[in-house]
Amino acid sequence: MEPELNPDADDLPLRANTNHILVRHYVLDLTVHFERKVISGSVVLFLEPRCGVKIETEGGAQPGDGANSLKIIGTKNILSSNLLESTTDNDFTLVLDCCDLDVSKVEEVDITSVSALPSVVRSEKSEVSSVNPQASFIQELLSLPSSQWKHKHQLFLLCSCAAGAKDGGSLHFCQDRWSLQVRKRGSASPQEFPRVIRIFYETRPTGGSVRWTKDQDDRVCIYTAGSPINNRALFPCQEPPVAMSTWQATVRAPSECVVLMSGEEQAAPTEDRDTRFSVWNYYVTMPMPASTFTLAVGHWCQVTADLPPAVSCSHGDYPCRFTEQSAKSQRVIPHCVFGPVSLLRKAQMGILKLLPKCLAAAHTVLGVHPFPRLDVLIVPAGFSSLGMASPHIIFLSQSVFCAGSPDSDKSGLSLCGSRMCHEIAHSWFGLVIGARDWTEEWISEGFATYLEDVIWAQAQQLSLLEMAEQSDLKALLRWRRLSDELQNSEEELQILRPNMENTGQVSESGSSTVKHGLNPDKTFMQVHYLKGYFLLKFLASQVGEQQFIEFFRLFVKKYHGQLILSQVRLCYRQFLTSEQLVLLLELLLDEPELRAATLCALQRTYTLQNRDAEVRHRWCELVVKHGHTQAYGDVQHFLLHDQAMGVYLYGELMVHEDAEQQALARRCLSLVQEEMDQSTRRVVEEMVL
């Protein structure tokens, strides 16, 4: 067995041997069990060997093997189960990224009944020998043009429902900490390995890919956490971003629940009378990395909006919106907002009010929306960031709302609007154009941070002068944030390309590691947001912002559907915007001493407890720094309800060695620790306990 990795320090392994074989399509069939906090079911993988790859075993290359040969080392030393003992080291091993899953069975799927159907148009020349007709059928199925995607998905579904192969259908498998290895006796190469396999499994309650928690109405829910390990604790998959695939999924959940997922159409559930569960079906036709797969199940309520009716590309063949004439003029794509009952009013006055404007502004700036629809979900308080974008769905923290009345102050929408613009920008940079190496986060986050300002200014319909003033103010705030981070973090975590000259490189099998991927400190750093933003802002200053936006549009037109590397409102009384108020509070934080009367006047004048989370965070820092006991209630409220932003407040409460402040930190932690994101909880506990 290989040694366990230290989750606090080591790089994140991506084990899948993507240079040997690729998953081209996933069909998931899952059931959500809230009482046990597990998801059970199966996933069917449609596989395609990499072209021109031959396998060399430990015994040496076969005669005639050339430069395309790859060496597979015997796996006796890394496999910890006797389930592989009946195979030999000469058998090819499919390696999938897998963590915290209990796999019960892996079987080859017999698609004879489906491949016998006359409905598939067979190509005259098949790359697969007719000796293996099922492999030939899958090759032809995968090669069907995008114009036949509906037929293609029907065939995928039929294949996934087929029985297991009768003779030798059960495959040998083994799991270690980070992977699932599968073999078939006698299959010595990827070409001889089954093209369709089914994996039966169950998630674990403590798995890092899914959060089992309660929403703001105290009702049970789950959502994919977007954690460093991504989706490997949700289903066995190939995690490296080069493993682009499509998927379709059936999810069964209690009938009172809503299931939201990455999918190109809004799903309508059907009822399973036998189980009293609802059945939801989703699919995607754009090949995407498995890490972008997103799932949320809960007692969400929906608020709908009035909607308008609904080029030659370099990427692989799929139904592409960039070539659809109707998509080019669709400024506002169909959208829905979901959240708990207690936050519906704020969602209506905030998200639903701003979302059409933000979508239209993004279209003005960047052009065609890459995805045909959008769901926005207000996730539970334990969500560890302000937002997260996935295909067709955005998670937003409740911290984007003001603490006061949702319709009392227009400037209270600033954080909500700008954050939505950031996540919407990810549709172009981060999703439809992705980083080929996950260490190059700045390609998505730096671009989204820069475009956030441009799109939000467009959505607000600012004048050129107002736009420039807002841009300069945000730049100043970000510069202060970056300067502070550079002074208070490890130097090796500040590098945008930590793999340096090895960026984008993988092993012979296609496996790789994500530098610092398991380091919890990295999760809370914004270097890749801020350095990337300032690089782009500098470039814009050199060529002019309008010309720079034109560059973005050309960039999207050329690279969409591909993976890339770097080398290629006013306040109530004092008329301060939210950003100006943040700057004021940050400057006050530099003051060595402030009297209690001054802090009371500041709070009273600007009603700080009712401002957005960015303002309230600085206010809480002032309260803690100066021991302003009259406002400790504001600090507690922030730590309980703005978990996405309150992590470092715990440290500030502890560092002053004030017994009352330390007791406040421990009390707040005890109230929210069960719903906290695991990595966040670990960091806070290290500060407090």
For residue 400, CA distances in Å to 308, 341, 385, 394 come to 27, 17, 10, 13
As a whole number, mean pLDDT of residues 96-105 equals 96
CATH number at residue 639: 1.25.40.320
In this prediction, residue 257 has a pLDDT band, given cuts at 50, 70 and 90, of very high
Domain boundary among 297, 323, 353: 297
Domain boundary among 276, 297, 318: 297
Exposed, middle or buried by CB within 10 Å (0-12, 13-18, 19+), for 33? middle
Residue 684's pLDDT is: 92
Q: Which domain holds residue 100?
A: 14-51+87-297
Residue with tokens 């993976």: 563
* CB contact at 8 A, 281 and 362: no
In a domain, 61, yes or no: no
CATH number at residue 171: 2.60.40.1730
Which residues contact residue 48 at a Cβ distance below 8 angstroms, ignoring those fewer than 6 apart? Answer: 21, 22, 24, 138, 139, 142, 195
Residue 112's pLDDT is: 87
Q: Per-residue pLDDT for 89 more than 80?
A: no
DSSP 80: -
Residue 406's pLDDT is: 59
Which residues contact residue 199 at a Cβ distance below 8 angstroms, ignoring those fewer than 6 apart? Answer: 42, 43, 44, 45, 103, 105, 106, 180, 235, 236
Quick: pLDDT tens for 209-235.
Answer: 999 999 999 999 999 987 778 899 999
List beta partners, residue 95: 181
In a domain, 337, yes or no: no
For residue 500, CA distances in Å to 276, 437, 486, 491, 505 come to 54, 11, 19, 14, 10
For residue 459, CA distances in Å to 449, 451, 496, 501 come to 15, 12, 30, 40
Give me the catalytic one of 108, 140, 423, 445.
423
Which residues contact residue 342 at a Cβ distance below 8 angstroms, ignoring those fewer than 6 apart? Answer: 216, 217
Average pLDDT of the chain? 86
Q: Per-residue pLDDT for 601 more than 60?
A: yes
In a domain, 539, yes or no: no
pTM of the entire predicted model: 0.78
Percent of all residues in the chain with a pLDDT value above 90, rounded to a whole number: 61
In a domain, 131, yes or no: yes
Q: Report the number of distinct structural domains present in the chain.
A: 2
Distance between CA atoms of residues 392 and 82, nearest Å? 42
* CB contact at 8 A, 285 and 262: no
In this prediction, residue 52 has a pLDDT band, given cuts at 50, 70 and 90, of low
Quick: pLDDT tens for 132-158.
Answer: 788 889 999 999 998 898 999 999 999
As a whole number, mean pLDDT of residues 358-367 equals 96
Least confident of 46-55, 465-474, 552-561, 584-593: 46-55
The tokens for 28 are 């998931």
Q: Per-residue pLDDT for 78 more than 50?
A: no
List beta partners, residue 223: 211, 296
Q: Per-residue pLDDT for 62 more than 80?
A: no
Altogether, the residues listed in the chain come to a count of 689
Domain boundary among 271, 297, 323: 297
In this prediction, residue 482 has a pLDDT band, given cuts at 50, 70 and 90, of very high
Residue 86's pLDDT is: 56
In a domain, 464, yes or no: no
Strands 210-214 and 220-224: antiparallel
Q: Is the dihedral of CA 362, 364, 370, 376 positive or negative?
A: positive
Percent of all residues in the chain with a pLDDT value above 70, rounded to a whole number: 88
In a domain, 409, yes or no: no
In a domain, 353, yes or no: no
In this prediction, residue 177 has a pLDDT band, given cuts at 50, 70 and 90, of very high
Q: Per-residue pLDDT for 252 more than 60?
A: yes
Q: Per-residue pLDDT for 305 more than 60?
A: no
Between helix 659-672 and helix 647-655 the angle, nearest 10°, is 150
Say whether 85 is catalytic. Answer: no
In this prediction, residue 498 has a pLDDT band, given cuts at 50, 70 and 90, of confident
Residue with tokens 């999924």: 249
In a domain, 5, yes or no: no
Which residues contact residue 469 at a Cβ distance below 8 angstroms, ignoring those fewer than 6 apart? Answer: none
